[in-house]
Amino acid sequence: MGVLRVSDLVELLPAIVALTLLSVSPGLDTLLTVRNAARGGVADGVVTSFGICSGLFVHAVLSALGISVLLMQSAVLFGALKMAGAAYLTWLGWGSLRQALRGRGQQAAADSVQAVTQQQVSFWRCGREGLLSNLLNPKTIIFYMAFLPQFIDPAGAVLPQALLLAAIHFVIAMSWQSLLALLTCRVRGWVRLPMLRRLCHGVTGLVMVALGVRLALAKI
């Protein structure tokens, strides 16, 4: 595409609209960002979002190079990717369920200690959780394989165009998820209440496990 012109931006408008709708649609990315923000604060949510959005560039490169086509054509490779994503999602859900069960019967003083401990989760862990949840999601591969060709000029260099679309998606998704992290922490005082926090972890864990099982059983 070279240097962006006004005409290029007009042509990209449908892509921007589609990427915006995709980003604001509730899903695993939203769930993971909100969970980590409630666990450790705005910074944890933003770092999680950064990890999630960084995976978009990997998907863009794979799509541009045609590797995703090979995965989609190989039942064994694609099935392995799907099961890996389902297992990781279920593992994240189980972690939230353990936090919900561990909080049962704790007193207010112990609860305060736990709140401090939860804030000590490393940024590396948050970013890693976000990145892996994105890379191990086969639906993201399918989306990029179906989406990118509609907005790429085959007469030009494919990889730079794919990376440009991924960059646009990165900015949109990162902005939205960071806003969610901020809003989550605005009501975090409620979530710190023992019963509500356990309920939050429990519901989040159940949804993640259900999504993992659904992904494992789905014929994508």
Q: Determine what percent of the chain is predicted with pLDDT higher than 70.
A: 75
Residue 45: half-sphere exposure toward Cβ, Cα within 13 Å = 25
Structure-model confidence comparison of residues 57 and 191, the more confident one: 57
Local confidence band at 195 (pLDDT 50, 70, 90 cut-offs): low
The per-residue pLDDT for 44 is 93
Cβ-Cβ contacts under 8 Å for 30 (sequence gap 6 or more):
177, 180
Provide the residue type at 146 as one letter: A
- Tokens, residue 168: 């646009």
Local confidence band at 20 (pLDDT 50, 70, 90 cut-offs): confident
Spatial separation of the C-alpha atoms in residues 212 and 18, rounded to whole Å: 25
> Which of 66-75, 84-93, 165-174 bottoms out in mean pLDDT, i.e. has the lowest?
66-75
What are the DSSP calls for 146-162, one per residue?
A: HHGGGG--TTS-HHHHH
The per-residue pLDDT for 217 is 79
What mean pLDDT is reported for the chain? 77
Tens-place pLDDT, residues 100-158: 777 554 444 344 434 444 445 688 999 999 999 888 877 777 778 777 777 777 677 88
pTM attached to this predicted model: 0.72
Residue 189 pLDDT > 70: no
The per-residue pLDDT for 102 is 73
> Which of 23-27, 156-160, 179-183 bottoms out in mean pLDDT, i.e. has the lowest?
23-27
Q: How far is CA 153 from CA 8, 10, 60, 69, 83, in A?
A: 11, 14, 15, 19, 34
The per-residue pLDDT for 113 is 37
CA 74 to chain centre: 25
The ranges assigned to domains in the chain are: 6-217
